[in-house]
Amino acid sequence: MAILPILTAPHPRLTKMSRPVERFDRALAELAENMLETMYAANGIGLAAPQVDVHQRVVVMDLHQEDEPPAPQILVNPEVLQAGAETATMSEGCLSVPEAYEEVERPARVTVRYQDLAGVTHTRECTGLEAVCWQHEIDHLDGVLFVDHLNRLKRDRIIQRLVKEKRLARRARDRAVRPAA
């Protein structure tokens, strides 16, 4: 198991479309295990493979309540089959968009389909936090971040802050490696 580095916005590879998984092999199981470990280490509730720079349609999630035991889920090739007309608004955050939480409106009820690590297909109906998380993670597989659902002004403000933070971090790094005279 390994903790993988998480890409943060703005990053061109977070906007890439991920490929469907065709091989249900040991490498896929290892990727899912590493993604779960990475998600737990970052205190996230969901993580999509492109966030760790793997452009395959794999998502991990754990939506258990604090007083419940962990309930890791591995979703291969997940998709929304049907979305209800009713919408719900929930505050969302993302491991690839640090320190940003904004309300996003999405369908409140979705029917989803996915495969497990053995390649067996499952279909489920989701509501509440689960419906939000599924849609948020499937968006990642299509190169879409939750901030892309916000109005332009809010989105730009978040992205500009992240650009500035990356610039400052890079400068600090450059200074650290410069040999002292």
**Contact footprint for Ni ion (CB under 5 A):** 94
Which of 79, 33, 80 lies closest to 54, judged by CA?
33
Position with the least CB separation from Ni ion: 94
What is the C-alpha separation between 82 and 84, in angstroms, rounded? 7
CA distances from 75 to 42, 92, 112 (A): 19, 20, 10
The C-alpha torsion from 31 through 13 and 135 to 86, rounded to 10°, is 180
Q: Which is nearer to Ni ion, 8 or 111 (CB)?
A: 8
Q: How far is the CB of 146 from Ni ion (least distance, A)?
A: 6
Q: Which is nearer to Ni ion, 94 or 138 (CB)?
A: 94
Instruction: Note if 137 is an active site residue.
Output: yes
What is the C-alpha separation between 96 and 6, in angstroms, rounded? 7
What is the C-alpha separation between 21 and 129, in angstroms, rounded? 26
Q: How far is the CB of 112 from Ni ion (least distance, A)?
A: 16
Q: How far is the CB of 179 from Ni ion (least distance, A)?
A: 39
Q: Where are the beta strands (DSSP E) in the chain?
A: 46-48, 58-61, 73-83, 87-94, 97-107, 109-115, 121-127
The catalytic position among 92, 105, 137, 165 is 137
Q: How far is the CB of 25 from Ni ion (least distance, A)?
A: 26
Q: Which is nearer to Ni ion, 46 or 107 (CB)?
A: 46
Q: Which is nearer to Ni ion, 100 or 108 (CB)?
A: 100
Which of 46, 13, 4, 35 lies closest to 117, judged by CA?
35
State whether residue 178 is helix, strand or coil: coil
Active site positions, annotated: 137
